[in-house]
Amino acid sequence: MLAKTTDSRRVVGGSRTNRRNAWRTVAACISAVAVVAVSACSSSSGSADSPAAAKPAQAANVDAAKAAIARYVAPPTAFPVTEALAQKLPAGKKFVYLQCATPVCALVGTFVQQAVKGAGGTLTVINAGATAQTAQAAASSVNAMKPDAVILGAIDPALFGGGLKKLSDAGVKVVSLQIAKDVKQYGITFNYLGEELSRRNGKLLADWAITHKGAEADTVLYTLPALDISGPVQKAFQDEMKANCPSCKVRVVPIDVSTIGTTAPRTIVTDLQAHQGTNTAVFVSLSAAGGLPAALKAAGLSVTTVGFGPTTGNLQDIKNGALTAALAIDFPVSTWTAVDATARLITGGLPTAGEQAGEVPEQFLEQKDITFDPTHGWSAFPDYAQQFAKLWQVS
């Protein structure tokens, strides 16, 4: 023991005063909370391979994310169509809308019906479902109707087999909405809002999450593989998260489109319960969040939510504070624009430059933005019907 005491005295300096000062220094080091403080007490730096020298996780580029969404947090100001039809649509033109299986497609269908009526045509709505069997049956029934034009929702055109091509070969103008692939091989005459919109929306959703959560963003993206937009939105979302927040967490969970409005909320809640760290739920289509607020409340869960294309029910949930936000597309204006492009094709013209470029009003809507009646949906241009009537020479 004496030998050890003597050695200790030599190590800490020998005298009692020096020993007291030395132990005070050691105590200060031990009481420090941060790793940096421990390093400061050390006389040498850690090696490049040591845990103490490991590089910290890269911070989120919140400024870049904010800049990316800046134009979409304020109401749009430019109406997408300004060029009048060269001639009024002839009376009696027959339109068919092939409707997909989601609530959003049903909502779009109501606006298609209003637009076709406003242009002076007649419309038949046919449910194309979400499978090859239902889609091909729908296309077959449309062929027998001999319409002037067919408008197709966001359904993978491959599901129709050769049905759309047969329509096109018969002289029918086939116009699609938000098909995220090359559509020429399927006989589609014009695709309004193609893959570029889906990629842009995926990036915007990622930047919104980064803007609101920064480097702490722990996200799950709920996809709908049956919708053609799902793949491009997912890729753009993942790429943008990696670019602007490499340390952020991203998971992807597919949702069966047929479960929307039924078991989808239960699937989402079960997933969130299994991943308690998730703080942001992002939806390729916010329609998948229908009924989710009640399910979250019952499970005692709270999570930030955002998604593309809200239904009227989603908008009501945002107004009530039960959902956080939506990247809203102006369904009335975009749908009437698709009908406008169809009318131009029927009358021998071409879609406008803006229609070919995929111009469409979009805005992030939060609770403070729902100053309108959610049951009527959102439009940046409440007088859209009057504006189109003037362009179509029916006012």
Confidence of residue 92 (pLDDT cuts 50, 70, 90): very high
Percent of the chain with pLDDT strictly greater than 70: 85
Confidence of residue 188 (pLDDT cuts 50, 70, 90): very high
Q: What are phi and psi of 323, to 5 degrees?
A: -120, 155
* 3.30.70.980, 3.40.50.2300, 3.60.20.10, 3.40.1050.10: CATH of 94-193+331-360: 3.40.50.2300
Over residues 54-68, the mean pLDDT reads 80
Longest Cα–Cα distance of the chain, Å, equals 113
| 57 pLDDT more than 90 | no
| 189 pLDDT more than 80 | yes
Length of the chain: 395
Over residues 179-204, the mean pLDDT reads 94
Confidence of residue 54 (pLDDT cuts 50, 70, 90): very low
| CA distances for 247 relative to 41, 59, 75, 76, 263, angstroms | 30, 7, 32, 33, 32
Over residues 186-200, the mean pLDDT reads 94
Rounded to whole angstroms, how far apart are CA atoms 313 and 207?
A: 25
Q: What is the pLDDT of residue 52?
A: 37
Confidence of residue 46 (pLDDT cuts 50, 70, 90): very low
Mean pLDDT lowest among 163-167, 181-185, 236-240, 261-265: 181-185
Q: What is the pLDDT of residue 20?
A: 42
| 266 pLDDT more than 90 | yes
Q: Please list, in sequence order, all residues whose beta carbon lies within 8 angstroms of the beta carbon of residue 178, skipping any fewer than 6 positions away.
A: 153, 154, 192, 193, 194, 197, 198, 228, 229
CATH class entry, domain 62-74+197-329? alpha beta
Confidence of residue 60 (pLDDT cuts 50, 70, 90): very high
Over residues 214-229, the mean pLDDT reads 95
Name the token pair of 340: 């406008």
Name which residue leads in pLDDT, 40 or 196.
196
Q: Which residues pair with 283 in a beta bridge?
A: 222, 307
Q: What is the pLDDT of residue 32?
A: 36
Q: What is the pLDDT of residue 16?
A: 42
Decide if 62-74+197-329 and 94-193+331-360 have a common fold.
yes
Where do the DSSP E strands lie in 161-248? 173-177, 190-192, 218-223
Could you tell me the residue ranges of all domains in the chain? 2-53, 62-74+197-329, 94-193+331-360
Burial of 338 (0-12, 13-18, 19+ CB in 10 A): buried
Confidence of residue 395 (pLDDT cuts 50, 70, 90): low
Rounded to whole angstroms, how far apart are CA atoms 193 and 178?
A: 5
Name which residue leads in pLDDT, 248 or 11.
248
| 279 pLDDT more than 50 | yes
| 342 pLDDT more than 60 | yes
Helix axes 62-69, 230-244, angle to 10 degrees: 140
Task: Give residue for tokens 């009646």.
Answer: 373
Q: What is the pLDDT of residues 127-167, one digit of tens each?
A: 999 899 999 999 999 999 999 999 998 888 999 999 999 99
Most confident of 13-22, 35-44, 316-325: 316-325
